[in-house]
Amino acid sequence: MLLLLLLLLLLGAATSRCLHDETQKSVSLLRPPFSQLPSNFRSSSLTLPGSRDPQPLRIQTCYIRDPVSAGAWDPEEDGISVESQALAAVREAAQRLQGVLAVPPVQGPLLLSRDPAQYCHAVWGDPDTPNYHRCSLLNQGYKGENCLGAKIPDAHLRGYALWPERGPPQLVQPDGPGVQNTDFLLYVQVAHTSKCHREPSVIAYAACCQLDSEDRPLAGTIVYCAQHLTSPSLSHSDIVMATLHELLHILGFSGQLFKKWRNCPSGPSVRENCTTRQQVTRRDKWGQLLLTTPTVSDSLAKHLGVLGISLGVPLEEEGPLSSHWEARLLQGSIMTATFDGAQYTRLDQITLAAFKDSGWYQVNHSAAEELLWGQGSGLEFGLVTTCGTGSSDFFCTGSGLGCHYLHLDKGSCSSDPVLEGCRMYKPLANRSECWKKENGFPPGAENPHGEIYHPQSRCFLANLTSERLPGDKARFPSQIPYLKEAELAGHCYLHQCTERGAYKVQVEGSPWASCPPGEAIQIPGYHGLLVCPRGRLCQTKEGTDAATFPPLSLSTQDLLFRLSLGLAGPPGQSLGEEEREELTEAILQALVNRGGTGRCYFHSPSITSSLVFTVHIWKSPGCQGPSVSMLHRALTLTLQKKPLEVYYGGANFTTEHSKLLVISGHNPSMTHLGLSTGLCLMLLILVGTLGTVAYQKRAPLQVGPSAPSHSPEVQSTRGLVGGLREV
Ligand SMILES: *[C@@H]1O[C@H](CO)[C@@H](O)[C@H](O)[C@H]1NC(C)=O
Ligand SMILES: *[C@@H]1O[C@H](CO)[C@@H](O)[C@H](O)[C@H]1NC(C)=O
Ligand SMILES: *[C@@H]1O[C@H](CO)[C@@H](O)[C@H](O)[C@H]1NC(C)=O
Ligand SMILES: *[C@@H]1O[C@H](CO)[C@@H](O)[C@H](O)[C@H]1NC(C)=O
């Protein structure tokens, strides 16, 4: 009777695929069974009738150490335990969902059900006796309950009893205390399971195992394949996004659960008025499987700009229990089957609509992220029959180089299995990110197209070539090979939003030029044209690029460190704002050199007027190198050994000993997410983490005496304003 729902998320070299439907064939879910305990043995938790206002979904996590695979790998790899990596990702994903989904809160402690088919060999069969359907013979081999291989602690489970033919039952195991303040209990495992072994690209897979009496998912397990948690090809945000995808599956977005969705016209809190939905999916006349519930359909119609037309949303072709949106239509949605990386993935409105239609959740629609793909593209968008006709510039034909539709990356026109022959510009394998400074040209290198790589740079179709290339002065333009009719291709240039939908661009060495969407402009000092994309850049109201900028902010809180360095400068020195900015840049550069890593780890540096330099350290998506904690530890050690010294404006600035403070990004909500039962290892881990944080806060790290050491160190290679270098 107890069967599992299994979801897999695969990560290949470039994209990952979720294998949900290949693995869930044998799946069914455990609901609260007919009680096996006499009523006087039952714990007092009752489902209270009537209306309960939805509250933010409380997901409680419980780390389960796998007794089989523990020891098979080194959990201390890379300086940070993979367990805390996984827990950090789960915590972040769960926290994010708290702002998105609300449910009528579970009253009292959450208790999971036992499967009578597991612990009981036979039940009584006489409907006229009190022991009807109660256990008459125990299964001697009963090993307790598990959820996708994770052993459920007895403390989380209802008890059970053995009923004799006559007389009072014999209690075998009483109800556990349950888990307080919890609407969904998530077991977390990090392991090298055979599944991880067989499919080396699987990052994580998850299963839902228990439902409440309204069929809302109550508990599940996510298993992370250990090797991916330390893999440099996955950033922390990638793992968070993959976790969110799995969580959404087990909270209801699953072929297995669609048929249990409820129709609750009075909202999820008025349960009396709910019925099981008659139809969630259907096949259209071409055999395409569609999800057809009303909010989902309206949401797609709004997205495509065809209001008033009732559309089902196509699901990926994965058999009768498909659990992903069709990628041709909803590329970039978190619930498509492929995962290209966190910066290309959005928790979109149509996915949120599905959760509203499940009947179990109240949804905060303002938490949705904008899905650019296909926006306003009409009814014909994303069909196999139209994607190759050039009718939409979201798709491409041929094999040229262009821009990924979010314009963060250069791309090549290519396809993948879920695109079913349609082609789109996909990010190149190497250095295609315009927003990464480190992809840019080293100083002095030839940059004939005037590209700029910068967090505010975007990909533009252009065939610009500089008129002032060194050594070309003597030649005729026609003799210069790259001045011959160059084809348009993706290049990186700086952009800046001026108002919603409007922006200007800057090419190396040229002034800012206004870039009217849909037009091609010329740039002073360059041959050729630059095409200004329509409807892609600067689409959010705020005038900033929240929609198209990689969603980096806030999503990596858990692995955030703040590094504060007190600076000693010449006495009586007071710096103006601009000078402080330059000094900030100089210290940052020295710190980057010292750390020996890319700048992509360092964020929002600043210096206060009392000369305290502060920088946040976390790993942006695509940032190559060690883990944040590793870098943090290395920096701490080296700064202890030798302070930073920076020469600026004719004076020496030194990080002062005793003023060095490193604070780990302690997330206040971490404490209240801690489990209330003592049985989970997670509690121990949390205490461990908090202990470290407290330790670091209380005891500022000591720095050795700032002896005038002149051992050679990495010199700042950049010619910064003010003639800066680390001495
Ligand atoms: C709804 O989402 C918005 C945007 O993420 C957030 O600011 C707000 O706090 C959320 N509301 C609730 C009730 O969680
Ligand atoms: C439930 O549905 C009935 C019939 O449609 C309606 O009269 C009643 O007001 C509803 N209850 C609530 C609490 O909305
Ligand atoms: C990416 O760069 C590496 C190292 O520069 C190179 O070996 C590899 O061939 C490149 N891959 C592609 C697809 O260009
Ligand atoms: C740039 O591309 C445009 C449009 O394809 C073309 O007309 C123009 O001749 C090209 N210019 C150069 C310098 O290649």
Q: Per residue in 646-699, pLDDT tens? A: 887 778 888 775 444 545 443 333 323 223 222 232 222 222 222 222 222 222
69 against 529, higher pLDDT: 529
Average pLDDT over every residue of 632-639: 78
User: Which member of 83, 92, 214, 246 is catalytic?
Assistant: 246
For the beta sheet containing 313-314, the strands, ordered from the edge strand earlier in sequence to the opposite edge, are 281-283, 289-291, 313-314
pLDDT of residue 197: 85
pLDDT of residue 266: 85
Residue 608 pLDDT greater than 60, yes or no: yes
654 to 567, 569, 604, 617, 627: CA distances (angstroms):
5, 7, 20, 20, 27
pLDDT of residue 476: 53
Atom of ligand 4 nearest to the CA of 485: 14
pLDDT of residue 258: 94
Q: Which among 57, 97, 352, 364 is the best mutation to test ligand 1's pocket, defined by most ligand atoms within 8 Å of the CB?
A: 364
Confidence of residue 714 (pLDDT cuts 50, 70, 90): very low
CA-based end-to-end distance of the chain: 71
pLDDT of residue 701: 25
Confidence of residue 484 (pLDDT cuts 50, 70, 90): low
Confidence of residue 151 (pLDDT cuts 50, 70, 90): very high
> What is the DSSP code (8-state) at residue 83?
H
Average pLDDT over every residue of 699-726: 28
pLDDT tens figures, 58-78: 999 999 886 544 444 444 444
CB 311 within 8 A of CB 297: yes
Which residue has the least CA distance to atom 11 on ligand 4? 528
Q: How far apart are CA 414 and CA 417, in angstroms?
A: 11
Neighbouring residues of 393: CB distance < 8 A, sequence distance ≥ 6: none
Residue 469 pLDDT greater than 60, yes or no: yes
Question: For residue 46, is it left (φ>0), alpha (ψ between -120 and 50) or beta?
Answer: beta
Does ligand 2 come within 6 angstroms of the Cβ of 720?
Answer: no
Range in 100-114, 242-256, 591-605 with the lowest mean pLDDT: 591-605
pLDDT of residue 35: 62
533 against 540, higher pLDDT: 533
32 against 695, higher pLDDT: 32
396 to 181, 305, 377, 384: CA distances (angstroms):
50, 21, 15, 13
pLDDT of residue 644: 84
CB atoms within 10 A of CB 455: 16
Q: How far apart are CA 9 and CA 340, in angstroms?
A: 11
pLDDT of residue 572: 67
pLDDT tens figures, 39-52: 666 554 444 455 58
645 to 264, 299, 607, 640, 724: CA distances (angstroms):
65, 57, 15, 13, 10
Does ligand 4 come within 6 angstroms of the Cβ of 527?
Answer: yes
CB 517 within 8 A of CB 505: no
Q: Which ligand has its closest atom nearest to the C-alpha of 526? A: 4
pLDDT of residue 219: 96
Residue 170 pLDDT greater than 80, yes or no: yes
Express as a percent the part of the chain with pLDDT over 70. 76
Distance from the Cα of residue 617 to its chain's centroid: 18
Does ligand 1 come within 6 angstroms of the Cβ of 546?
Answer: no
Please, what is the Cα angle at 481 between 475 and 486, to 5 degrees? Answer: 125
Confidence of residue 576 (pLDDT cuts 50, 70, 90): confident
Burial class (CB in 10 A: 0-12, 13-18, 19+), 443: exposed
Express as a percent the part of the chain with pLDDT over 90. 45
246 is annotated as an active-site residue: yes
Q: Which among 426, 428, 430 is the best mutation to test ligand 3's pocket, defined by most ligand atoms within 8 Å of the CB?
A: 430
